[in-house]
Amino acid sequence: MPPDAALLRIEDVALRPDAPAHRDALQAGEILGLAGLDGHGQEAFLEVLAGLRRPAQGRIVLAAPDGDGIALAGFRQAVAHGIAYLPRDRRATGLFPSLSVLDNFGIVSFAADRRFGLIDRRRRRRRYEHWRERLSIVAPGPDAPVTSLSGGNQQKLLLARWLARAPRILLLNDPTRGVDQRTRETLYGVFRDLARHEGLGLVVLSTEIEEVVRLCRRVLVFREQHVAAALAGEAMTADAVIAAMFGQG
């Protein structure tokens, strides 16, 4: 595939000045996995992709219609260019505990609710219903406090919040952490669907190796703040990922 078909290019990015740089690209419709022992750089790398953190070297380039691309400079710019980032700790950095389910949903996609500059709550409610059905969110009602939702449904609501913005790139930081098995299967289905049918590029950081192997086409395994191995296809087995995580093989 030519390089300009990529949604996002990773140009010689290193997390530390002395660490080896990584060059890569995220294609449309691809699910890229990030794995590694906790604190070995995969989370920092995901934050670099989101513009939340500056890499020590290199840059992230977002694809633009003119073909040249835009260097990523910050998080809000990333959001404006179609990146969605789902944080790991949904209670600390995701949900607004004192707001309703509907307001929690609408916070990043308010532009779609605007009519003559004002928020049309009925329109927001319709959009919410669409995503509630698609992600099968179980909630008492749109006006219920968001704290009345179960952990899995809170996670799905956060996902709905970002999907409602119709992003091109979805960065997921351990999306199934603390989520029950049924919800997990629903989420996997949605992720695959988004990649296959809507051409989104997904980057999934996961602490569960099984998840990475099942879901992703490719996985980058981190060790000591750099990409120690990039596995794909037949070579991408749970054992191989674990071996790379521990620096063997």
Instruction: Check binding of 70 to another protein (CB under 8 A).
Output: no
Q: In the 8-state DSSP scheme, what is residue 103?
A: H
Task: Tell me which of 28, 56, 79, 230 binds another protein, using CB under 8 A.
Answer: 79
Site string for another protein, 109-128 (x = CB under 8 A): -xx--x--xxxxx-------
The least distance separating another protein from the CB of residue 76, rounded to whole angstroms, comes to 6
Cα 220 to chain center, whole Å? 15
Identity of the residue, 33 or 106, whose beta carbon is nearer to another protein in the bound complex? 106
Task: Tell me which of 19, 99, 230, 242 binds another protein, using CB under 8 A.
Answer: 99
The angle subtended at Cα 116 by Cα 170 and Cα 166, nearest 5°, is: 10
The least distance separating another protein from the CB of residue 84, rounded to whole angstroms, comes to 9
180 CB-near residues (< 8 Å, 6+ apart):
151, 152
Amino acid letter, 93:
T
Identity of the residue, 1 or 111, whose beta carbon is nearer to another protein in the bound complex? 111
Q: Of 106-114, 201-209, 218-226, 232-240, which segment contacts another protein by CB under 8 A?
A: 106-114
3-class secondary structure for 104-133?
Answer: HHHCCCHHHHEECCEECHHHHHHHHHHHHH
The least distance separating another protein from the CB of residue 199, rounded to whole angstroms, comes to 22
CA distance 239 to 223: 16
Rounded to the nearest 10°, the torsion over CA 122, 127, 131, 134 is: 100
Residues 160-219 contacting another protein, CB under 8 A: 161
Reference 158, options 189, 179, 185, 140; nearest CA is 179
Instruction: Check binding of 1 to another protein (CB under 8 A).
Output: no
Q: Is 240 helix (H, G, I), strand (E, B) or coil?
A: helix
CA distance 152 to 137: 9
Instruction: Check binding of 73 to another protein (CB under 8 A).
Output: no
Identity of the residue, 1 or 92, whose beta carbon is nearer to another protein in the bound complex? 92
Task: Tell me which of 40, 63, 154, 203 binds another protein, using CB under 8 A.
Answer: 154
Question: What number of chain residues touch another protein (CB under 8 A)?
Answer: 37
Interface contacts to another protein, rule CB under 8 A: 52, 75-76, 79-80, 85, 87, 91-99, 103, 106-108, 110-111, 114, 117-121, 143, 145, 147-151, 154, 161
